Structure formats: C-alpha cells, structure tokens
Amino acid sequence: MQTTENLNIESFSPMPTPEEIHARVPLSEAAASTVIQGRRALEAILDRNDPRLFVVLGPCSIHDPIAGLDYARRLKQLADKVQDTMLLVMRVYFEKPRTSTGWKGYINDPRMDDTFHIEEGMQKAREFLLAVNEIGLPAGTEALDPISPQYLGDLIAWTAIGARTSESQTHREMSSGLSTPVGFKNGTDGTLDAAINAIISAGAPHSFLGINAQGRSAVTRTRGNKYGHLVLRGGGDRPNYDTVSVALAEAALAKAKLPKNIVVDCSHANSYKKPELQPLVMQDCVNQLRLGNRSIVGLMIESFIEAGNQPIPADLSQLKYGCSVTDACVDWATTEKIILDAHSALKNPLIQRAT
C-alpha cells in the first residue's frame, strides 16, 4: 500500500499532557487569588461597574525570565500607586505570529537557538506566569496556539486575539470557551468587521475538536464568552485611536448590538511601530477620557526596561538585558512617567464616569 499521509512530517516528539505540566508547576493559592481578582476587576470594568481604566503593558515578548520578573516587580510597585484610577495587567506574550519566518516565541524555542524544545518552553512559560501572579500582578497574553490554553489558561486574566487571527474560526471557537475577557483586534487593513463578527461569534456556544487535560482528543463544547471586546490597533497605513475613529467604532458596535467597550493599542499601526510615539497615543486617549469619552475602557503599551529592540545574536551572552528581541518598546522611565501622568489626569474624569 502506498503511503498517503505525513509525507512532509520529519518526526513526532512526545509532549507532556496539560495535566502533567500542571502537576510539575501547580497553581498556588496566591497565584489563584491574583488571577480571580484580576478577572473579576476586568469584568467589572467591562460591565461598567468599575470606572477605572485597565492598561495591559509589558514587553512585546518574553525571552528572558529574569529580566521579565525584574520588570514585573517594578510594575507591581507602580500598579499599587495608581490602583484607584487604573488596573495594570502585565503583558506576558510567549507566542509570536510571524509574517514569514523568525523567532516564534518562548514556548516554541525557549533556548533561542532553533532547537524548538516546546515541551521545555511550555513548562518554563508556566513557571514564569506563576511567578508573575505570585508577585500580585494579573497577566494578559495573546492566544495563538489553540492547545496552549489547556496548559496555561488558569494563570491568565486577560486574552488578546491578534489582527491576523480575529477572522479565524478556530480562534473564535477557542475564545468562546476561555475563562478570561477577550480583546479582538481589528484587521491589519484597519477594518472592524472581522473583530466585531469575532465578538459576536465568541459570545455564542460552540462545539469543536480540542484536547482535554489528559491530552486526549475531545469534542469541546463551550458556553460562549460574554466578555469579548474591541481592540483598536490601527491598520491600512493609518492609526485609528483618534476621536473620529473611536466614534466610528462606537457606531459599529452599537449597530451590532454590542457593548461600547474599546481598548486602544498604543503600539502597532497606531504608532507606526515607532515606540517613541506610544506616549502621544496614550496622551490623546487620556484627553478623550477627560473630555467625557465613555467607551475607551483600556489601553495597551509595549514597554520593557530598556528602550528599542535588538536582533537575536548567535552568542546569546551578547543580548542586552531588558531589551526586546521582537517589536521595539518604550523604556521603564517612560512607562512610569506616562502611567503616573495619566493617573493624575484621570482622577476627576473617572469619578464623573462612575456617576
């Protein structure tokens, strides 16, 4: 009999089941408390029972857990200072979609040497998330691989679905079963239809093929996720955080009979991928809030200890500490300043929004 399958598969390597990874890195009471409190706070903001803004900020991607935890400790101190106006959620991205090729993230290639020890990357990712939550910071991530939430989902408070995957049926189905609020980004061309349709789809029950905690194929049946919301990230060579774009997004959400919940991603096309423009985007959004805007509920910022980014060198000892290896970020000093400035500017407007 001629062979007709797996013709382009070189090999299959065993992967620990979600249950096995959970047993190696068990959820602690402290981490569970952070996750639950973070999710409830995000839900309260989206339900308009909490007038605060939530801000998802952190490195474009995690590649060095030591620098990542250094950032997390700084962010926790900042979060405590601004907690009456903002809920800070650490951006913890382990999976990176690539336009063509490139490093696909800490889970896929944790050693950054093209050895692709995914089994190692998954466990290390879980260890990192556990540590962030035990510091007291809720974590946000992008859900790219539909299997990963079985390994890491209990440690996540907020999830993003990217511009390239908001149109994907697989990601809409997955989102309908996630335990977190989910932000759907507008398409790379700047249009809103895919994201709005994704919010509607994820809000409905679905049945699809997945895996269970034991790693077995299973028919997954979901209840639907009522906390889907829109993320404006720009696109089509123009930003979409300005008052006109926000008003158009509000109208599109209203037409779809969806809550007017909008998160503005200060990076990507909204800042033309120039990190130095992110503070200007944030200032503009803060000004909209000061003038009475009620639809902007969150912001996203790419931020790390050092500004900019760096290529991955052949000799990893040459990596600059606390500097992104994917998209360029603003540095910690800038991060602290823009958050504290927003905190001062938003006190009275958010009190008014609560009434």
Whether 19 maps to a domain, the answer reads no
The predicted-structure confidence for 294-349, as pLDDT tens digits, reads as follows 999 999 999 999 999 999 999 999 999 999 999 999 999 999 999 999 999 998 88
Provide the mean pLDDT of the chain. 96
pLDDT of residue 86: 98
Residues 233-255 as b/e (b if ≥16 CB within 10 A, e otherwise) read: bbbeeebbbbeebbeebbebbee
pLDDT of residue 350: 83
Whether 30 maps to a domain, the answer reads yes
Domain CATH number, residue 29:
3.20.20.70
Give the whole-angstrom CA distance, residue 40 versus residue 232.
23
Domain count, the chain: 1
- Report the 3 state secondary structure along 108-175: CCCCCCCCCCHHHHHHHHHHHHHHHHHHCCCEEEECCCCCHHHHHHHHCCEEEECCCCCCCHHHHHHH
The predicted-structure confidence for 210-241, as pLDDT tens digits, reads as follows 999 999 999 999 999 999 999 999 999 999 99
Whether 87 maps to a domain, the answer reads yes
Whether 18 maps to a domain, the answer reads no
Give the whole-angstrom CA distance, residue 163 versus residue 234.
10
Whether 8 maps to a domain, the answer reads no
Supply the range of the domain harboring residue 58: 25-353
Whether 284 maps to a domain, the answer reads yes
Compute the average pLDDT of residues 151-163: 98
Is the pLDDT at 63 greater than 80? The verdict is yes
pLDDT of residue 97: 76
Q: pLDDT-based confidence at 100, cuts 50/70/90?
A: low
Whether 2 maps to a domain, the answer reads no
pLDDT of residue 19: 98
pLDDT of residue 99: 63
pLDDT of residue 349: 85
Q: What percent of the chain has pLDDT over 70?
A: 99
Whether 5 maps to a domain, the answer reads no
